[in-house]
A and B are shown apart, each in its own frame.
Chain A
Amino acid sequence: AQSVTQLDSHVSVSEGTPVLLRCNYSSSYSPSLFWYVQHPNKGLQLLLKYTSAATLVKGINGFEAEFKKSETSFHLTKPSAHMSDAAEYFCVVSDLSGGSYIPTFGRGTSLIVHP
């Protein structure tokens, strides 16, 4: 069985300061991991994904995440927050448990960016 835990329901930062959104996962297989962003009343957009290649993954809008198997973590970071980064962020894990890839979503982290 797979599961994912986003450790913070809300993260508040000032514009120009670093962002860290934390995600831990559990998987019996080699998982694929994703971060999505959702702006209010919109669909989700892919930020980045890990699929067993390089452990440091770069995504859009300056975001990146590092896959750490020993810590079962896939934290999302950005060096400098922008006002437009304010949104809901979802960490997703997917593996072949059950015979097909069915993703499991974390509960989301709301990123608040102060001027």
Chain B
Amino acid sequence: DGGITQSPKYLFRKEGQNVTLSCEQNLNHDAMYWYRQDPGQGLRLIYYSQIVNDFQKGDIAEGYSVSREKKESFPLTVTSAQKNPTAFYLCASTNAGRDSYNEQFFGPGTRLTVL
């Protein structure tokens, strides 16, 4: 089955620790995205990548880092510099190009709780 997987589903970390969230897709999509979701605020873009070895900051990149070494994988690291990391994190992918835009496919999400 084609799709996007995120792991783990629930993650608990102590304050001050870095943590990496996994996102893998087997849809052969070029573009991948990380969003943060907080109640009543919709989805806010953290980072996106439109091609391997290239990525751009979104609206709320401070305290986060990413890598895109493989087309299928786009891990997100939440660093200790992120002031309020407790949230629901969603990964998405799409075949969006410069001439057309297709819908995004979303993973099931990872709920991060910092204690």
Contact = CB atoms under 8 A, between A and B. Distances in A.
Contacts of B53: none
Given A43-B90, A101-B96, A101-B101, A90 B106 contact: no
Contact of B109 (A41, A99, A101, A103): A41
Interface string B31-49: 0000100001111110010
A44 B40 contact: no
A102 B48 contact: yes
Interface in A66-115: 90, 94, 96, 99-103, 105-108
Contact count band on B: 20 to 34
B41 to A, nearest CB: 6
A34 B103 contact: yes
27 contacts: A34-B103, A42-B108, A42-B109, A43-B4, A43-B90, A44-B43, A44-B90, A44-B92, A44-B106, A46-B103, A46-B104, A49-B103, A90-B42, A94-B96, A99-B98, A100-B50, A101-B96, A101-B98, A101-B101, A102-B45, A102-B48, A103-B104, A105-B42, A105-B44, A107-B40, A107-B42, A108-B40
